[in-house]
Structure 1
Amino acid sequence: MKVLITGATGLVGSQIAQLYISKGHTVHYLTTRSSAIKKEENYKGFLWDLNKMSIDTSCLDGVDTIIHLAGASVFQRWTQKAKESIMSSRVDSTQLLVNLLKENDHKVEQVITASAIGIYPDDQDAEAFKENDIPPYANNYLAEVCIAWENVAQQFKETGAQLAIVRIGIVLAAKGGALEQMAQPVKFYAGAGFGNGKMWQSWVAIDDLAGIFYHISDHRLEGVYNGVAPHPVRNRPMMKAIGEVMGKPVFLPNVPEFIMKLMLGEMAAVVLSSQHVSSSRIEEAGYQFQYPQLKIALEKYL
């Protein structure tokens, strides 16, 4: 298999790239920086520029699978400029890839693009959402981004490639990402829940997330899949579990919602929203989780 990955140097993309290479496949990746280009036998970089909507078409040479992860981080203060960047980096990059396939001969059989579980309604009492349970969508900016991203991705079906979408949950990893941010205050005995602490946290171990992408490509699966582990937990119990694994008690009262909004602005929605999401579809498609339980994942990464 020869795979083209966008966002290959990020937290999730680098893990996915390593997995494909470890299984003997070749990875092409797109970057905006000439200094980041490598030309190894099984790991080769190519330039693209979203501002100019340009791309090195040779990135497609021999490629049969595209994994599209690129997008500006949502973990920043949501100024108007930041919100425009978060949206355009996803929509424009997806459109550029669609154009690439439409305008060039290619051998791409499948495109797998990322989305996020933020598309689901913010509901602390809902049963676990499955892929076909929406609409209705969440009524917030992050859902708008996911909807726009997925809508543009539908154009890949016009290029002769199969399309799969992975709605990613809270990614747990040893370095970087949500877990590092949550563990930091716990380390200094300042760990606490957020808001009422009852928000569902649909998490996934980064090894399993990479495995889900690989499983989808290896079995040429189509459609939407939730990239979450089988056993989501609520916010306060998650913080307590982090404390237990680190040997640090989490005893402080939860940080009130209004404080979170003062600190983070509109971006507080990322940490205060509740999405109870099911992993049943990817399991029914044959994927077996390495880290189905939170404590197993925490012991691995902490």
Structure 2
Amino acid sequence: MKLLITGATGLVGSKLTKELRSVGHQIHYLTTRESAIKNEADYKGFLWDVKSMSIEAACLEGVDTIIHLAGESVFQRWTDEAKDRIMSSRINSTELLINTLRDNEHQVKHAITASAIGIYPDKWEGQPMTEDQVPPTADNFLGEVCVAWEDVGEQFKELGLKHSIVRIGIVLASKGGALEQMAKPVKMYAGAGFGNGKMWQSWIAIDDLVGIFRHISENELVGVYNGVAPNPVRNRPLMETIGDVLDKPVFLPNVPAFMMKLMLGEMSATVLSSQYVSGEKIEQAGYKFELSNLKPALEKYLS
């Protein structure tokens, strides 16, 4: 299979690219830097510029599946300018791909786009949230971004393509991502929970997230899937388990919610919201998790 991947040099994209190449798939990838272009038998780069809405249409040659991961990081203070960059990077990049498909001959059959569990509202108790909940929208900027991103992605279906969405949870990885930031204060004996520490954290090991994207692409699954492990945890136990694995006690009181809001502004919603999310649907579709429990995942990535 030949796949076109956006965001192929990012945290998830780089590992996904490596995994797909290791099992014999060919990768085309999009980059904004000419210096990042490679031309190998199974790994070829092409230029695009979302700001000018330009792209090398040759990126589509022979491609069966598109996996669209590109987008500005949401983990920054949400100024008006940052909000515009975060939203436009997702909407405009998706529209650029759709326009390129519409305007050129191609053999693409399947488009897989990313989203986030930030689309779900705060949920403290009861059953975990599923992909079929209506309405699933969080009452904050991240919720708005996810809804807009998923809505524009629906246009792939108007072109006759199969379309899938992966709502990604808190990604655990050795380098980069949320775990690295959470582990830093713990290593300095300054680890603590946030707010009341009871918020649900729906996490996923990066190896399983990559596995889900591969499983969806190879089996041409359609629809929305939560990219989360089967066993969410609450915030304070998560931090304490990080401390246990690092052999660093987490003994400080939780950082109050008002302090988180002072430090992070509106973006504090990403760390104070409680997302209790189910990963059952992707399991029912045949995916078997490698790391379904928190401590083994932390032991792998923090070793």
The TM-score normalised by the length of structure 2 is 0.99
Change (3 A) 1:86 1:133: same
8 Å contact from structure 2 (residues 171, 178) kept in 1: yes
Deviations 1:212-267 (A, max 9, x none): 00000111100000000000000000000000000011000000001111111111
| Cα distance in structure 2, aligned partners of 1:160 and 1:45 | 26
| Cα distance in structure 2, aligned partners of 1:186 and 1:120 | 28
| Cα distance in structure 1, aligned partners of 2:161 and 2:29 | 19
8 Å contact from structure 1 (residues 120, 134) kept in 2: no
Per-residue deviation at 1:134? Answer: 2.6
Amino acid at match of 1:224: V
8 Å contact from structure 2 (residues 119, 137) kept in 1: yes
| Cα distance in structure 2, aligned partners of 1:138 and 1:176 | 26
Deviations 1:162-220 (A, max 9, x none): 00000000000000000000000000100000000011100000000000000001111
Amino acid at match of 2:168: I
Amino acid at match of 2:83: K
Instruction: Compute the RMSD of aligned alpha carbons.
Output: 0.7
8 Å contact from structure 1 (residues 229, 292) kept in 2: yes
User: How do residues 92-241 of structure 1 correspond to structure 2 at under 5 angstroms?
Assistant: 92-241=92-241
8 Å contact from structure 2 (residues 119, 136) kept in 1: no
SS of 2:28 mapped into structure 1 = strand
Amino acid at match of 1:274: S
Per-residue deviation at 1:40? Answer: 1.4
Count the aligned residue pairs.
302
The TM-score normalised by the length of structure 1 is 0.99
Deviations 1:100-159 (A, max 9, x none): 111111111110000000000112224200000131411110000000000000000012
Deviations 1:268-289 (A, max 9, x none): 1111111000001000000000
| Cα distance in structure 1, aligned partners of 2:224 and 2:298 | 27
SS of 2:132 mapped into structure 1 = helix
Per-residue deviation at 1:31? Answer: 0.7
8 Å contact from structure 2 (residues 25, 42) kept in 1: yes
| Cα distance in structure 1, aligned partners of 2:181 and 2:258 | 20
Match of 2:25 in 1: 25
Amino acid at match of 1:270: T
Amino acid at match of 2:45: G
Amino acid at match of 1:301: Y
For structure 2, the 5+ residue unaligned runs are: none
| Cα distance in structure 2, aligned partners of 1:211 and 1:66 | 16
For structure 1, the 5+ residue unaligned runs are: none
| Cα distance in structure 1, aligned partners of 2:43 and 2:162 | 24
Match of 2:298 in 1: 298
| Cα distance in structure 1, aligned partners of 2:114 and 2:240 | 30
SS of 1:94 mapped into structure 2 = helix
Instruction: Provide the identity percentage.
Output: 69
Per-residue deviation at 1:70? Answer: 0.4
8 Å contact from structure 1 (residues 173, 301) kept in 2: yes
| Cα distance in structure 1, aligned partners of 2:93 and 2:114 | 12
Poorly superposed stretches of 4+, deviation over 2 Å: none
Match of 2:51 in 1: 51
